[in-house]
Structure 1
Amino acid sequence: MTSWLLRASCALLLGLASLATQAVPRFEDVRQAFAPSEALLLDRRGEPIERLRVDASVRRGDWVPLANVSPALRHALVLSEDRRFYEHSGVDWRAVGAAAWANLWNTRTRGASTLTMQLAGLIDDDWRHTTGGRSVTQKLGQALMATRLEQGWRKDQILEAYLNLVPFRGELVGIDALARTLFGKAPHGLDDVESAVAAAMVRAPNAPAAQVSRRACGVLRAMQVEATDCTALDLQATAALARRAWPAGDGIAPHVARRLLAGQPGGARITSTLDAGLQRLALQTLQQHVKELRGQHVEDGAVVVLDNASGEVLAWVGSTGDLSDAAQVDMAASRRQPGSTLKPFLYAEAIAEKRLTAASLLHDSPAHLQTASGLYIPQNYDRQFKGWVSVRTALASSLNVPAVRAGAMVTPEALTRQLDALGLNLREPGGYYGYSLALGSAEVTLADLTNAYRALANLGRVAPIAFTPGARPRATQALDAGAAFIVGDILSDPEARAATFGTDSLLATRFWSAVKTGTSKDMRDNWAVGFSRRYTVGVWVGNAGGAAMWDVSGTSGAAPVWAALMQQLHAHTPSRPPTPPPGVVRAAVRFGERLEAARSEWFLKDTQQPLFAIDTEAGGARPDWAGGLKDIKNATVPARITAPQDGVILALDPDIPPARQRLQLAAEAGGAPASSLRWWIGAREVGRGAQADWLPWPGRHVLQLRDAQGRVLDERRLEVRGALPKPGARPPA
């Protein structure tokens, strides 16, 4: 006995010494240090819309004030763990005496540890219970700290901290994680049975379900709950302990949450630009429409909604959720072939270069184009050809062959530069795609494509999108404002798209809007992207795995979702046609017999003319724009370099005489006399006329085609590699 008293005295002295040097934390400090295992994503008005787990070691929810905890649970916990909680001052000496007497006679009891003592172990690791039990020093130190806690904290604060810090089962710590995970509800909603089950888990967090239910039944009887049915309670406890996830309804923006909350600490609350109501509508509309398309082998989709002025992301749906086999993949940020949705940028570039106008005539007829990989024969969607059509009709009706002809005028290299300037960031140079780039053979993301259409809405100004409020990236002019305006006007014209879509399609809204659909090769992707004065909406449907859809058209795939969201966005907000920018004029135009009806058309200044017709006097159908021009190339495009191609690399061979390695330069004169053309490389004129030859000089060069007044008509960049000239030698003429 003397030895035991000596050890106890020493342990007590050590505990007192430890506590003498250790300050008991304040309740406010403990609550402030509490870190949930999730970070929280808020919408633009502060509404929680998604949780993301950032701590994989435990699962903690939010700190729950005691007033928001079910009274039944508070009652059950006190009855189960510390019946004299409101009477003692940290240590229940009656329970200590009973435990000592039981130990003397080897009788099992509940133990003498109070809620306050347990809280001391939860706050300070030195006094925490371990698998080997607590030492005498730990027990005494825990008791002393509990006494000091009771001196500085109120009883309600002790109970509140305990409920938020106690481990319940497995990785679940705190009442918020327990209630939402095992019972699928907030802590204030726990009933008597659920409260008894929760209290029963405190003493043995990982006990089998049968043991938990037996203890819970005893707690219910102690609570004097009438008609306690322990058999039914066992079934309910078993079902609850099998659950392991937050309710699915807690999140509507998982992909944005991963984007913004990754790397954030637990408990972080990040405000996004998303609109919770619009996000829910976009998700529900997409899911409902994809359900309707399941019979046509469609299971995935994505939606992006942008504010035109700020670039803020108002809605971002990366997948169809449970409908998809790849719900974790963010399809709004995945690269897919955009099909005809690239055509507006092609025609905008052609108009900006003054190669075409909205009234220019293009021939919709079979075309055979020689490429490096073989013969390319573009087809229209309906495999029918409409003959001579205006650019307005060709774009609005999404005709493929005229687009390829326009792409040949612009060149794939120039189109690639334009698309990259708009933020589409193609992975390969223009030559890799060839003429098929005009029909969307490259891969882009829905987010980038939607933002590029936003640039059309903003008259050619492009800026990155924003996920957090207040971020206003600087905009740059990536596309001619007049060309962007004209293309937007074409995409808003229901009459111009009637040849393909009819006059009453989903694309025709009650307010001003501009829209384009697209379908990729083998019907693997379907798109609808368009804008009003205030918003830009992009929609994609398809299959994340790349499987083809069955019989999904431009207006049955993504367009219904686009139309529904646009209608909702403008339910109470008007959208009027934009004001034309400086440099754009409107003029009356007429067309040749049986072509198109006369109309008023938009032009870049100095490109307008009154008549667009076909002249057959030369023995073939050729467009006669004005002044009796007979040559289709001269009539439809200004002067341009046809050889060499942009970005060409030449290699000089030292074994071949220099005079036999001259590079042939060729150009189309357009409406200008061929004799007025001048070839320049750097600061030197190297030739005149529609054709010339140049002796290549090692280095990187800019080849320019100029008129007699020195104005640059076209240019190409090229590189010459090979033997270097002798020191001091001058470039050859």
Structure 2
Amino acid sequence: MIAACAHSAGAKTSFEHVKAGYKPSDTLLLDRQGEVLHRLRTDTSVRRGQWVALADVSPALRTALVLSEDKRFYEHSGVDWRAVSAAAWANLWNTKTRGASTITMQLAGLLDEDLKRSNSGRSVVQKLGQTMAAESLERGWRKDQILEAYLNLVPFRGELVGIDALSRSLFGKAPHGLDHREAAVAAALIRAPNAKEAQVTQRACSVFKTLEPTSANKAASPSSGGCEAMELLVASALARRDFAASEGIAPHVARQLARTTVGDGAAPATIRSSLSAPLQRFAQQALQTQLRELSGRHVEDAALLVLDNASGEVLAWVNSSGPLSAAPEVDFVTSLRQPGSTLKPFLYGQALAERRITAASLLEDSSTQIQTTGGLYIPQNYDRQFKGWVSARTALGASLNVPAVRTLVMVSPDAFQKQLARMGMPLKESGDFYGYSLALGSAETTLLNLTNSYRTLANGGRASPTRLTVGRTPPPFSPALDARAAFIVGDILSDPMARARTFGTDSVLATRFWAAVKTGTSKDMRDNWAVGFSQRYTVGVWVGNASGAPMWDVSGTTGAAPIWAAVMNQLHRQRSSRAPQPPAGLVQKTVTVEGEAPRSEWFINGTEQSVFAMEKGATRAYSTGARGQNDSKSSGNSTTNTARITAPTSGTILALDPDIPPQAQRLSLEAEGSNLRWLIDGKQIAKGNTALWLPWPGRHVIQIVDNKGKVLDQVRLEVRGAGVKGGASAAPAPTRRP
């Protein structure tokens, strides 16, 4: 009955079945072409490497295994009856000798749970079953298949199972690289996996002696020179654990895909991703090279993402700067950071789509104070300078902050927050929570969402999710932005003349092929970005510090942009990139814009006009909420309306500093117009366009009037804190504001 069962089990177990059922403890992440990108341990109960073909095993190890475990392996048919007889005779005379178990019999025990050796050894029934199963294996398998399966399934030391795990853990190399001494140690561990170091050394010396007969004198005894070297090798090998749990160039992608593919079962041995191994390596190298160039500027972290525009497949995902980072395990592709000016293209795109502005509309870049529930919001440009009246094309291309804030006043923060969500960039809070600073990127988003939103622009305003695996069907797209507005924004971001005022005409953003790009820097230079797209690819780069510490004089053009340019140039080394075709509903018209060179401009049907200029006598726009293509024009026909208070803004709340004497504190009053007089709560305090007022606690009305006493403008404000009552006088304006 035992023989029949064993024969049946052996007949059903084929070599191909065993090999196919082998489960390594690691999952290999492959790129889109099948190249290994990363190895990740996904089974913590055992340590198995990949299945190793017999041809890839060191000849020294194959020889050592046969000589150590089964000298007549190639002669017997599963059972070495000569060894069985010798063992039986030795047992009769109570003489210690090695067992008669062959490699085939040991393999049978590894394949069948019922035949596995227990702590007390195998029973007589198990030994008989093992014998029959071995003979059955020999009838169905070749010798090389038996030896290959045994080397991959045999337990070695501790959790190590199989020759791949042993070689990489104890010797730090692949199985094909084991020399004679290392092969001897491996063979010694098969016999006694958890033996003490001295026993392993003695056994390894004995095996080495059989491998190197000419070295018999050196390896004759444990005290000889050969075994002294073996002792050092065993000691270092048993103390080493070089088989890292994670190894490669895409750790976070490997973990992410392993989690999504495991489900309720075991992780697969291999996962094919959408990444490109050559591009991943190049991107990683470009990123680290740029950070080394920034050495001394307090920059240590960066991340990069490359997307295929059509499919949404991720082609490169560099999560951090690796060894250069103090937090290499943090995935900065999915970390929340402030995007800075990289949100501006979506804002202008929304304003264009809603016909609030055109690309040629004039926007005012000047000092402004916007009243909010939290106080005054006073946006500043990066260079702390103002350009006056500029077109929307220049405002976006040169990344001017004040025009962007004025545009958000037209659109409203809450509507802009909803637009960002449609683009694939959901925010944690409502638009009103961020207020007008949302135009300058005060919210937090991830590099993944930001880059994919730029991919939405590249796809004509159509959004779809990204994916890390190669798919046969394209992802479903959903409309997120008017295709005409998306085209105009892309045209502006690709225009080197539009960004010339800030970046010059020969910046690192200029490419020899068509590409649209935008940089951004968050407050105090804590984050900087470069995100852009070509005809086929979208590339996003973030540079900063994991701790959130500011960088030292590192902006988007000096930090992230060189990485973006290097990767984009690599992508188009042998591939062209053409500008997209304009969608239906666009017209191109030659325009004259005040202060800018004549040019050909794109318009959404119905918004086109040929001249954009301020009328004579107009000095400043009176409302940041003007709409339509005619917003660039001011009536300028009435001189009585040209006078206004520019500082402070109505609704201002001032707090007197308790550490400064009240008499030494002054509020600067500024206005535009001519022949002005200043009134505080109906009392005249000064004449001219500027004045300094000694504030006191309470609510006040500040007015400017003409020579006839007509009120031209007024603001209301509140002063809090202890002050000096009766200080209603004003001092003459000094040349420098205190």
TM-score, structure 2 as length reference: 0.79
**What's the counterpart of residue 227 of structure 2?**
230
- For 1:41, the equivalent position in structure 2 comes to 29
Tell me what 2:361 maps to.
Answer: 360
Q: 2:615 matched to 1:611?
A: no
Q: 1:531 to 1:226 in 2, by over 3 A?
A: farther
Structure 2: how far apart are the matches of 1:291 and 1:347?
A: 35
- 1:608 shift after superposition: 1.8
Residue 259 (str. 1) matches residue 247 (str. 2)? no
1:427 matches 2:433:
no
1:630 and 2:618 are equivalent in the alignment: no
- 1:123-522 pair list within 5 angstroms: 123-224=111-212, 226-227=214-215, 229-246=226-243, 251-262=248-259, 263-264=261-262, 265-469=266-470, 470-522=472-524
Alpha carbons 2:613, 2:633 under 8 Å: kept = no
Q: What SS does the corresponding residue of 2:614 show, helix, strand or coil?
A: strand
Relative to structure 1, the CA distance from residue 112 to residue 248 in structure 2 (aligned partners, 3 Å threshold; closer, same or farther) is: closer
C-alpha deviation, 1:358, in angstroms: 1.2
Q: Which amino acid aligns with 1:316?
A: W
d(CA) in 2 for partners of 1:558 and 1:208? 55
CA deviations 1:185-231 (Å, max 9, x no partner) are 33222222221121111112223444323322221111126556332
Q: Is the 8 A contact 2:38 2:246 kept in 1?
A: no
Structure 2 distance, partners of 1:57, 1:479, is 51
Within 2, Cα distance between the matches of 1:619 and 1:581?
38
Shift of 1:440: 0.6
In 2, the alpha carbon distance for the partners of 1:610 and 1:37 equals 69
Determine the C-alpha separation between the residues in 1 that align with 2:631 and 2:230: 94
| CA positional deviation for 1:267 | 4.4
TM-score (normalizing by structure 1): 0.80
Partner of 1:561: 563
- Once residues 246 and 7 of structure 2 are traced to their aligned partners in structure 1, the CA distance between those partners, rounded to angstroms, is 49
SS of match in other structure, 1:113 = coil
Task: State how far apart, in whole Å, the 2-side matches of 1:530 and 1:79 are.
Answer: 63
Aligned to 2:48: 60
- C-alpha separation in 2, matches of 1:630 and 1:591: 15
> How far has the Cα of 1:519 moved from its partner?
1.2
Kept in 2, the 8 Å contact 1:36–1:266? The answer is: no
Give the drift of 1:325: 3.3
Q: CA deviation at 1:544?
A: 2.6
Are the structure 2 counterparts of residues 189 and 471 from structure 1 closer, same or farther at C-alpha, using a change threshold of 3 Å? Answer: farther
CA distance in 1, matches of 2:237, 2:147: 24
- Check the 8 A contact 2:49/2:165 in 1, yes or no: yes
Is the 1:15–1:138 Cα contact (8 Å) retained in structure 2?
A: no
d(CA) in 1 for partners of 2:524 and 2:93? 83
How big is the shift at 1:514?
0.7
Q: How does 1:68-87 map to 2 (within 5 A)?
A: 68-87=56-75
User: Structure 1 residues 173, 622: closer, same or farther in 2, change over 3 A?
Assistant: same
Moved more, 610-619 or 546-555: 610-619
Give the counterpart letter for 2:129 in structure 1: G
Deviation at 1:15, TM superposition (A): 4.6
The one-letter code of the counterpart of 1:609 is Q
What is the SS of the residue equivalent to 1:151?
helix
Q: Distance in 1 between matches of 2:385 and 2:199?
A: 75
Contact 2:338 2:441 in 1 (8 A): yes
> Retained in 2: the 8 A contact 1:616–1:622?
no
How far, CA to CA, are the matches of 1:182 and 1:363 in structure 2? 69
2: CA distance between counterparts of 1:68 and 1:266? 25
Superposed displacement of residue 492, structure 1: 1.0
- CA apart distance, 1:616: 4.3
Q: Secondary structure at the match of 1:336?
A: coil
Q: Which residue is 2:647 aligned to?
A: none
Write the letter of the residue equivalent to 2:597.
A
Contact 1:615 1:622 in 2 (8 A): no
* Cα gap change, 1:148 to 1:577, in 2 (>3 Å): closer
Q: CA deviation at 1:631?
A: 4.7
> Aligned equivalents of 1:596 and 1:539: distance in 2?
32
Note the C-alpha offset of 1:426.
1.0
The alpha carbon displacement at 1:513 in A equals: 0.7
How do 1:105-120 residues align onto structure 2 when only pairs under 5 Å count?
105-120=93-108
Distance in 1 (alpha carbons) for counterparts of 2:358 and 2:301: 38
Instruction: Go from structure 1 to structure 2 and tell me whether the alpha carbon gap of 1:584 and 1:138 turns closer, same or farther (over 3 Å shift).
Output: same
1:168 aligned counterpart, secondary structure: coil
Instruction: Give the number of equivalent residue pairs.
Output: 617
Q: 1:576 to 1:22 in 2, by over 3 A?
A: closer
* Partners of 1:618 and 1:298 in 2: CA distance: 47
> 2:541 is matched by which residue type in structure 1?
V
Is the contact between residue 424 and residue 444 of structure 1 (CA under 8 Å) also seen in structure 2?
A: yes
- Is 1:575 the counterpart of 2:577? The answer is yes
Change in CA separation of 1:360 and 1:208 when aligned onto 2, cut-off 3 Å: farther
Q: Is the 8 A contact 1:73 1:195 kept in 2?
A: yes
Range 496-505 or range 238-247, more displaced = 238-247
Provide the rounded CA distance (Å) in 2 between the counterparts of 1:630 and 1:504.
Answer: 35
